[in-house]
Amino acid sequence: MTERSWKTRTVAPELVQRYLDEGWWTNETLGQMVASGLAGQRDAAFNVHSAIRPWSGTFGEIDDRARELAGWLAGRGVGPGSVVVMQLPNWAEAGIAFWAATYLGAVVVPVVHFYGAKEVRYILDTVEPEVVITIDRFGPSDHLATYADLLADRPDTTWLLVSASPVDPAAAALPERATPFDQALGGPRLEEALPVDPDAPAVIAFTSGTTRDPKGVIHSHRTIGFETRQLNGMFPTGGPPQITGAPVGHFIGMVNAFLVPLLRSRPVNLVDVWNPTEILRLMDDEGLGLTGGATYFVTSLLDHPDFADRHLKLMPFAGLGGSPVPIAVMERLHSLGIDAFRSYGSTEHPSITGCSLADPVEKRNTTDGYALPGVEIRLTDEGEILSRGPDCFVGYVDPSLTEAVFDEEGWYRTGDIGVLDDQGYLAITDRISDVIIRGGENISAQEVEELLIQLDGVAEVGVVAVPDDRFGERAAAVFRLVEGAEPPDLATVRAHLEAAGLARQKWPELLHHVPEFPRTPSGKVQKFRLREELRAGRLHPYDPERPS
């Protein structure tokens, strides 16, 4: 096993004692949580709704395969502290792999299935995994070719491959390095979760924040365990069986799909592609419902021509978070009879504030709620939100980033600006960190800018968020051009970013150009003013084929 020393932060002893005394932290590891949760509900349904790889069975069947996979990996030296990178869609294999890794006490690194070579290479270089579990292809992404290249100089990394093809992958022409996923199943099982320090890293979630490269956010068994219980406590009881469309390669999607159901005896219904037509069909044919997620999941159904009053019965409530939630959307849901509530958090501190259905409608529509159990918040003189709590992460993989966001008392600088009313309800008003949150996925403006500046004729570029009723936000690129140059069109921009390996979800969807940027006296571009101009409609997107 690769020797590592993740330099996590030290939580103040008085906070540790408080978290233990209140029961917010326990000594239970994720492997123990999974084992105890599954023991009482092996017959619960676990379904994957997919045109490519559908599956229907039970928690117990997934658990049996997870223990077989864990036994196979243990036989190859994988155990506590080993790193397992998983880039899988919402398929049964993702559940098998995640539960297996928890039994081994391994550090799970979920990677969203649409990440391309650029992001994946950085993640692999950062965590140096013992195991990589991937698909061969999904949609337009050829993961087989990507990983064959990325793992070429990593001879000691075990590569397990799940095939999207109905053809037996063992018979396919696979790279010599790759082992078909199914070949790791069927052997001796790991019967007991391996012991591991509950303060040890359990998950490293990479998030595209304000920096050029994704940031590796480290969570321990204790912080993830508490977050699982926090999410379970936040969500209303009752309602229809829930559809899970959030990618399990995303931190919160993984926790909601594979941990929270173990606490409330709830069936799992995964979908690997969010197709509103198909989702509405599942609601009609199987009685499944939608009870929240990022704004887009809800609005994409409401805006679909097949949406009818009968679907409202399967949407009794909606917990929205993960991306900005326009007040207009909240008011629309209320008018339709959907009881909606908002919450606020991040990969670093997943559940900071939230409302409940018992709160007044006005508060649910216009604020992100109040501090959740165990969580403390306060505002600086500038309005920046500081937080700390039992689910706050234990540090970044890069310790210099950790030092930059925590003070000596353990308060985390969120980078967000907010206001607190006299009843303790928090409303987010802006972000210091230059992040665009599209459908719950973070986009680093700097990462996109550094690629767009390479285009011919571009002197300077700023990528900023514009509001969007479906996704919460989307990216707009504003160019300052070399004198006499023509602005690039969308086709050119997309081809350039695709060639660079940037995930499609990060591509700008609106293009603008200006003769000069608003600047500070020191010459720094004032992006908040760009955002204001865009939101006020004073900057118009261009189309070189049909000039406005």
- E-assigned strand segments in 308-397: 317-320, 339-344, 353-354, 370-371, 376-379, 384-388, 395-396
H or E stretch at 516 = none
- Regions of the chain short of the pLDDT cut 50: 169-170, 209-211, 521-522, 544-548
pLDDT for residue 1: 64
CA angle 119, 123, 128 (to 5 degrees): 150
pLDDT for residue 490: 93
In order of their start, the domains of the chain are 13-223 (3.40.50.980), 271-431 (3.40.50.12780), 435-535 (3.30.300.30)
Nearest partner of 90 among 63, 71, 60, 113, judged by Cα:
113
pLDDT for residue 211: 47
pLDDT for residue 164: 81
Tally Cβ neighbours within 10 Å of residue 102: 29
pTM of the shown model? 0.84
DSSP 456-468: TTEEEEEEEEEEE
Nearest partner of 185 among 264, 290, 70, judged by Cα:
70
pLDDT for residue 546: 41
| Pairing of the two strands 83-87 and 131-135 | parallel
Asked whether the CA dihedral 16, 17, 18, 19 is positive or negative, the reply is positive
DSSP 23-34: TSS-S--HHHHH
Contact (CB, 8 A) for 205 and 347: yes
Asked whether the CA dihedral 398, 401, 406, 407 is positive or negative, the reply is positive
Nearest partner of 480 among 498, 446, 503, 457, judged by Cα:
457
Distance of alpha carbon 538 from alpha carbon 175, whole angstroms? 53
